[in-house]
């Protein structure tokens, strides 16, 4: 089962521009995470924001979370060609501690950064 | 060691074959996961293991059989697969949340690209 939607599905920008991706989800969550995937290989964890947090920064990444609207956004500033990848939001909604997570992914955004 | 290692990277198998996918991590993570990803789609959760015990099975067909022999290893045994099972199979691991610390990020392997012929 999939958690929600991401938009846009595809985004093409020039190097140096900012990229914003949005994610909506349906159920209550413990945290929301963003991942990057290059060329259909493994996913790389970018950032995690907990349900009681509203904004988080990590380097060129800024994530916001609005639990009342069940939505999140990822901003990548000063983009580079190396940022070209698929970006996925994922929500973790484990109900029982000590039993691992239950990470469910959104549909993803394909980002293309042109030199 | 901050990696999840998956073998093999590529696998082609017939519908009558039995094969296994392997996953290994040495980060001390006590939760391990299998995901399936079709082309241009998001990963879909298949199984969750916590402390070597199966805690979530997302209604996966019995032709997929997971096994967690110890805290570092996770296997996925494959038998009588169908061509539609061709996909990228991803393994991941994470710490386990004992109290409400809000969870942890996952570390993913590079995946096994499986083709069923």
pLDDT digit string (tens) for A28-61?
Answer: 888 999 999 998 788 999 999 999 999 999 999 9
Contacts of A79 (CB under 8 A, 6+ apart): A13, A15, A16, A17, A18, A19, A60, A111, A113
pLDDT of residue B14: 94
Say yes or no for a CB contact (<8 Å) between A101 and B31. Answer: yes
Q: What residues of chain A score a pLDDT lower than 70? A: 1-4, 95-99
Given A2, A30, A41, which is nearest B103 (Cβ)?
A: A30
Among all chains, which residue has been given the structure tokens 């039993």? A99
pLDDT above 80 (res B39): yes
What residues of B are in the A interface, CB distance below 8 Å?
4, 30-33, 37, 39, 41-45, 48-51, 55-56, 58, 88, 90, 92, 94, 96-100, 102-111
Interval B66-90: pLDDT, tens: 999 999 999 999 999 999 999 999 9
Residue of B77, B115, B33, B82 lying closest to A102 (CA atoms):
B33
Confidence of residue B15 (pLDDT cuts 50, 70, 90): very high
The proportion of chain B whose per-residue pLDDT surpasses 70, expressed as a percent, equals 96
Closest Cα in chain A, distance from residue B99 (Å): 7
pLDDT above 70 (res B98): no
pLDDT of residue B71: 92
């Amino acid at each position: 089962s999939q958690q929600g939607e991401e938009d846009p599905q595809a985004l093409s920008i020039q190097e140096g521009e900012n990229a914003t991706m949005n994610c909506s989800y349906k159920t209550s969550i413990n945290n929301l995470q963003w991942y990057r995937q290059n060329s259909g290989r493994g996913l790389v964890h970018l950032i995690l924001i907990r349900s009681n947090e509203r904004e988080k920064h990590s380097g060129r990444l800024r994530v916001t979370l609005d639990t009342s609207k069940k939505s999140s956004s990822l901003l990548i500033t000063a983009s580079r060609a190396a940022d070209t990848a698929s970006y996925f939001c994922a929500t973790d909604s484990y109900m029982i501690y000590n039993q691992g997570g239950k990470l469910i992914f959104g549909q993803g955004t394909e980002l293309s950064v042109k030199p | 060691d901050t990696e999840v290692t998956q073998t093999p990277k590529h696998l082609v198998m017939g519908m009558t074959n039995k094969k296994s996918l392997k996953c290994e991590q040495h980060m001390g993570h006590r939760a391990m996961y299998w995901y399936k990803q079709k082309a241009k789609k998001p990963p879909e959760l298949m199984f969750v293991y916590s402390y070597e015990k199966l805690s979530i099975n997302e209604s996966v067909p019995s032709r997929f059989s997971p096994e967690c022999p110890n805290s570092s290893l996770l296997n996925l045994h494959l038998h009588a697969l169908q061509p539609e099972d061709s996909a990228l199979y991803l393994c991941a691991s994470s710490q386990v949340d004992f109290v409400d610390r809000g969870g942890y990020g996952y570390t993913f392997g590079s995946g096994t690209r499986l083709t069923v012929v």
